[in-house]
Chains A and B, each alone.
Chain A
Amino acid sequence: DAGVTQSPTHLIKTRGQQVTLRCSPISGHKSVSWYQQVLGQGPQFIFQYYEKEERGRGNFPDRFSARQFPNYSSELNVNALLLGDSALYLCASSPLDSLIRYGYTFGSGTRLTVV
């Protein structure tokens, strides 16, 4: 079975630009979450989606937005990029009803560099 897939793997953008990151969850998983991991820190929660609805939002500015599609894939959009947005962006999926037992499975991430 394919795991969580993310694209692109690497991305270089200029300050002020906009970026879209994509994620496909594990087959059968309806919950998708997005995390940002800055170098030297643990991942920080950005969004959670379930059945195409936002179920949680972390402490990130409105420049960050996301959506989930009927096939449960998801996109994360970041507008007006800042240097501080440079990070590894992780997508995670879960069957949700067994989250407590099994946690999230992370994709390989998208490394975003803002110059």
Chain B
Amino acid sequence: QKEVEQNSGPLSVPEGAIASLNCTYSDRGSQSFFWYRQYSGKSPELIMSIYSNGDKEDGRFTAQLNKASQYVSLLIRDSQPSDSATYLCAGGSRMTTDSWGKLQFGAGTQVVVTP
């Protein structure tokens, strides 16, 4: 079992609609979670971080964290063609003497926003 799992997609979303991305994790020691956006051939770009249960909103993006269910989600409202990318979910491990906050990534969900 992978430690961070995401649906690979592609997730096809009409322009202006809401894109909903899901992520589950197995490491209960994970303290914080991150959503990165990665355009084809480019490096990951951080778009949201969350470390408390509940919702966190930033512009058109809302991240949700449920530690009891080990579940993280990302909503993209008013989706635009420029949102077409792969979205990577990552969990940040707690800092120990062996590992200072390494990130464990899912394989990513490809989102395609159609005009």
Contact = CB atoms under 8 A, between A and B. Distances in A.
Interface of A: 31, 33, 35, 40-45, 48, 50, 55-56, 58, 88, 90, 94, 96, 99-109
A63 to B, nearest CB: 20
A43 B103 contact: yes
Interface residues of B, number: 27
Nearest to A94: B101
B49 A101 contact: yes
Contact of A45 (B46, B95, B102, B108): B102
Of B4, B43, B44, the most chain A CB neighbours within 10 A belong to: B43
Given A40-B107, A101-B49, A103-B92, A48 B43 contact: no
Interface of B: 4, 31-32, 34, 36, 42-46, 49, 51, 88, 90, 92, 95, 98-108
23 contacts: A35-B103, A42-B88, A42-B90, A42-B105, A42-B107, A42-B108, A43-B44, A43-B103, A45-B104, A48-B101, A55-B100, A90-B43, A90-B44, A99-B95, A100-B31, A100-B32, A100-B92, A101-B49, A103-B32, A103-B46, A103-B92, A104-B46, A104-B103
Nearest to A46: B102
B107 A99 contact: no
Nearest to B110: A40
The 5 A-B residue pairs with the shortest CB-CB distance, nearest first, are: A42-B105, A56-B99, A55-B100, A103-B34, A45-B102
A101 B88 contact: no
Given A48-B102, A88-B43, 9 more contacts: A42-B108, A43-B88, A44-B105, A48-B100, A56-B100, A100-B51, A101-B49, A103-B92, A106-B36
